[in-house]
Amino acid sequence: MLKNLDSLNPFIHVTIENRILTIKIDHPEQKNALTGEMYNDIAKILDAADQSQQVNVVILQGNEQDFTAGNDLKDFMSAAQKYVGLAADATPPFVFLKAIARFSKPIIAAVRGCTIGVGVTMLFHCDMVYAHPDTEFQIPFVSLGLSVEGGTSLLFTELAGYHMAAELLLTGRKFSAEEALKCRIINQICEQPEQLALQRAQQMSQLPMTTLKIIKKQIRPEQDQIQNCIVQEAEVVAERLTSPEMIEAVMAFLQKRKPDFNQFLQS
């Protein structure tokens, strides 16, 4: 079931060693931005790992420069016609987010550099997160004319508290690893997050898989609520994709200028 996973996508490298499956996102030219194909492939890898008796724990990481710059907007807009008629949560980003949310085994993230958009959202579904001191986080949905995704409205407020979540979501500003630690998005700041993630994974690789899964379910029992939240948020995102604000944000991105949202202000 785990055969040929490394050949699914040239920008996703998969290794399995000592019951640890590592997923490495490696597309440096795009700062590891995720295409529709990459979302679908990571979801397939997670589902296969969840069913495999060879895997106790998963590590999710980027390359030496960045974790991920989030959604590849050019790819998403060019592929938009493919998604016509699909349920909102059946599009690639939400296929991935549902897969990582339902993953029943421990998953550890090691992040550095750009950690933006879905790069932050997916961390809410990881069990442990380690970050390099220079990691730059951002949840910029508001500046794209979009709403939140992936259970953010439920999980981020649960982690950070309402006021901090509101500040970061309603301004879309960048924030540091220190702030991410205060918001409880990450466990620890360290110079070598990949090494620390591997150390924790090695500890769990020696433990009984069934017990790991039971304890994870016990400490996060609200799985149905999370999945429902992801679906509901996906429906709102789908509505926002055709909004004038979203169109202006994408055009500004493609034209390398700042978006002008003043034109949409009501007098």
Question: CA nearest 153: which of 167, 166, 140, 172?
Answer: 166
86-104 pLDDT per residue, tens: 788 999 999 999 999 999 9
Measured in whole angstroms, how far is the alpha carbon of residue 21 from the centre of its chain?
A: 17
Please state, in angstroms and as integers, the Cα–Cα distance from residue 107 to each residue in 14, 74, 266, following that order: 14, 29, 45
Specify the pLDDT at position 266. 66
Q: What is the pLDDT of residues 50-82, one digit of tens each?
A: 999 999 999 999 999 999 999 998 887 777 667
How high is the pLDDT of residue 267? 47
Tokens encoding 110: 């090691």
Distance (Å, whole) CA 90 – CA 40: 10
Domain boundaries, given as residue ranges, for the chain: 5-192+214-259
Q: Mind listing the pLDDT tens digit for each residue in 152-209?
A: 999 999 999 999 999 999 999 999 999 999 999 999 999 999 999 999 999 999 999 9
Which positions ≥6 away from 71 have C-beta within 8 Å?
A: 33, 34, 93, 117, 118
Question: Position of tokens 């996906």?
Answer: 234
For residue 193, give the nearest of 18, 66, 75, 98 by alpha carbon: 66
Q: Quick one: which of 59, 7, 27, 101 has its CA closest to 199?
A: 59
| Partners of residue 102 on adjacent β-strands | none
Task: Compute φ and ψ for 16, nearest 5 degrees.
Answer: -130, 125
Query: What architecture is the 5-192+214-259 domain classified under in CATH?
Result: Alpha-Beta Complex (3.90)
Query: What do you get for the CA distance between the two ends of the chain, in Å?
Result: 59
Residue 209: partners with Cβ closer than 8 Å, 6 or more residues away: 53, 56, 105
Closest by alpha carbon to 46, among 122, 142, 140, 150?
122
CA-based angle 172:24:168, to the nearest 5?
10
Decide if pLDDT at 7 tops 90. no
Residue 252 has pLDDT above 80, yes or no: yes
Q: State the pLDDT at residue 15.
A: 96
